[in-house]
Amino acid sequence: MAIQPTSPSTPVDWSPASWQQREALQQPHYDDPAELAAATAQLASLPPLVTSWEVLALKQALAEAQDGHSFLLQGGDCAESFTDCTSPIISNRLKVLLQMSLVMVHGLKKPVLRVGRFAGQYAKPRSADTETRDGLTLPSFRGDVVNAPAFTAEARRADPQRLIQAHAHSALTMNFVRALIDGGFADLHHPEYWDLAWVEHSPLAAEYRQMVASIGDSLRFMETLAGPIASFSRVDFFTSHEALLLHYEQALTRQVPRHPGWFNLSTHFPWIGMRTAALDGAHVEYFRGIRNPIAVKVGPSVTPEQLLPLMDALNPDDEPGRLTLVHRMGNAAIAERLPPLLDAVKREGRRVLWVADPMHGNTESTSNGYKTRRFDNIRGELDQAFDIHAAAGTRLGGVHLELTGENVTECMGGARDLSESDLSRAYKSTVDPRLNYEQSLELAMLIVRKSVS
C-alpha cells in the first residue's frame, strides 16, 4: 500500500510513537521488552477494526450533534472482559442501547447517535500500581488487555500476548455487532426483536410498550404516505474505548490510501481518561496527531486555565466534530465545578460537544465492601447538567453511561429501589458498578422528560 505523505493536519513533530518521549501514566510494566516488541509488531501487521470512512462519518455526525441536530448516547461496560465476549452478553448490551435510543428518539424528536463502549474497552486506569492482600503485594489488575484479575503472580503479570487477544476479541465483538445490525436486528419496524426476557416484570414495561406501539403507528402512517423508508431499517453503531494502553493504540494507528494523515483504526472514537489528560503527558501527545474524533474526560479538579490549552493542543483549528468534552463531576460538585468551564469555552468561542458522564463522579463504597453508585445521584447529576447548560447558554449534547443488558445488582436505587443488601445478589463487575437493563431504560426516560421540560 502506498503511504500518503504526512497531511497538513498532522503536526510536523508528531509520529505514532512520539508519545514515548513523554511521561506515560497508567501503563503496565512489561518485564521482557523483546516479548513486547514481538507482540506489537504482530499487532501492527493485523487488519484494523474500523475504516477511515467510518471514522470520518462519525466525525461529521458529531459535528451535527454539536449543532444540536442530534443527541449522543454513549454506553457500555466499565471494562469488557474476554470471558464476556459471548453472544448473549453482546446482543443484550446492544439491545439495551437500541431500546434506550428508541426512547430518546421518540421523546427528543431528534436523531440519536449511538456509540458503544465496546470492541476494545479492555484497559483500565487504577488508583494504585500494586495491591496487597494478606501480606502479598502484586501488580494491580489493569484490564484484560494487560493481565488477569485473579490474585496470583502469574495472573497479574503483564502479558504482551494479551494485546493480540484483545484485538481478536474486539474483532469478534465488532463482527457480531455488524452482522446483527446488517441483518435487521436494529430495524425500527421490529422493536420486538430487542425485548429482553425479564423486562416483562419491570414497572416500566407498560410505558415502554406504549412508546413502541406509538412509534410503530407513526412509522406505518409515514410509510403509507411515502412508501418504505429505508433508513428506518438500518441504524449506525459506532465504537469507542479509553485509549489508555498506548502500545496497543500505536500498533493500530495507520495510514490509508484515500485519506491523508493518521487514523487510530482500533475504534471510531477513542477517549482520554481523567487520570491521563495532562497537557504535557503521553496521551495528549498521542491524541493530538490522529484524525479521529476524540473525547476527553473532564473531572472536578480541572480549571479553565487547564482546559483551554488542552483544547488548543487537541483541536488547534477548531475543527467541527473533532472534540467532545465529557464532564464527570459528581452530583455534589457539578454545580460549583462545571459553570466556570462552560463560561470559558463559550467566551473563547470554541466548538465542542458537551457530554455528561453522571457515573464516575458518583462512585462510593458500601459498609459491606461493594463499590456502588446511587441511582438518585446519577439522576441528580444529569438533571443538574441540563439545567447548568441551559443557564450558561451552552448545550448538553449527549450522555456517557456505564451499563449492561444483564440483570445485575451493582447500582442502588431505581424503579425497583435496590438496596445495599441487594448488591450481593448479582454483583458481577470486577471494576465499576453498571446500571442494569431496567435502570438504563429508566434513565433514558428521565433524560427525555428532563430535556423536553
Other Cβ atoms less than 10 A from the Cβ of 128: the count is 8
**Choosing among ligand PEP, Mn ion, none, which partner's interface includes residue 297 (Cβ < 5 to 8 Å by kind)?**
ligand PEP
Binding of residue 356 to Mn ion (CB under 5 A): no
Q: Which is nearer to Mn ion, 242 or 285 (CB)?
A: 242
Choices 82-90, 272-280, 303-311, 422-430; region in contact with ligand PEP by CB under 6 A: 272-280
Question: What span, in angstroms and rounded, lies between the C-alpha atoms of 309 and 25?
Answer: 20
Choices 16-24, 106-114, 156-164, 268-276; region in contact with ligand PEP by CB under 6 A: 268-276
- What is the smallest separation between the CB atom of 274 and ligand PEP, expressed in angstroms? 4
Question: What span, in angstroms and rounded, lies between the C-alpha atoms of 344 and 357?
Answer: 20
Among the listed residues 360, 374, 379, 434, the single contact to ligand PEP using CB under 6 A: 360
Mark residues 411-450: x for contact with Mn ion by CB under 5 A, - for none.
Answer: ---------------------x------------------
Asked if 7 and 261 touch (Cβ cutoff 8 Å), the reply is: yes
Say which residues have a Cβ less than 8 Å from residue 190's Cβ, sequence separation at least 6: 184
Q: And the C-alpha cell for 266?
A: 482500533
Among the listed residues 24, 50, 78, 435, the single contact to ligand PEP using CB under 6 A: 78
Asked if 269 and 294 touch (Cβ cutoff 8 Å), the reply is: yes
Which residue is closest to ligand PEP by CB? 273
Binding of residue 378 to Mn ion (CB under 5 A): no
Binding of residue 78 to Mn ion (CB under 5 A): yes
Q: Which residue has the cell 481523567?
A: 274
Q: Which is nearer to ligand PEP, 170 or 255 (CB)?
A: 170
Size of the site for ligand PEP (CB under 6 A): 10
CA distances from 379 to 144, 329, 357, 386, 447 (A): 30, 13, 11, 11, 9
- What is the smallest separation between the CB atom of 144 and ligand PEP, expressed in angstroms? 14
- What is the smallest separation between the CB atom of 300 and ligand PEP, expressed in angstroms? 11
Among the listed residues 48, 120, 191, 273, the single contact to ligand PEP using CB under 6 A: 273
Pick from 170, 102, 126, 197: which is nearest to 437 by CA?
A: 197
Mark residues 86-125: x for contact with ligand PEP by CB under 6 A, - for none.
Answer: ---------------------------------------x
Question: What span, in angstroms and rounded, lies between the C-alpha atoms of 266 and 268?
Answer: 7
- Contact positions with ligand PEP (CB under 6 A) in 278-307: 297
First to last CA, the chain: 53
Asked if 50 and 268 touch (Cβ cutoff 8 Å), the reply is: yes
Per-residue H/E/C for 301-344: CCCHHHHHHHHHHHCCCCCCCCEEEEECCCCCCHHHHHHHHHHH
* Contacting residues toward ligand PEP, per CB under 6 A: 78, 125, 242, 273-275, 297, 328, 360, 432
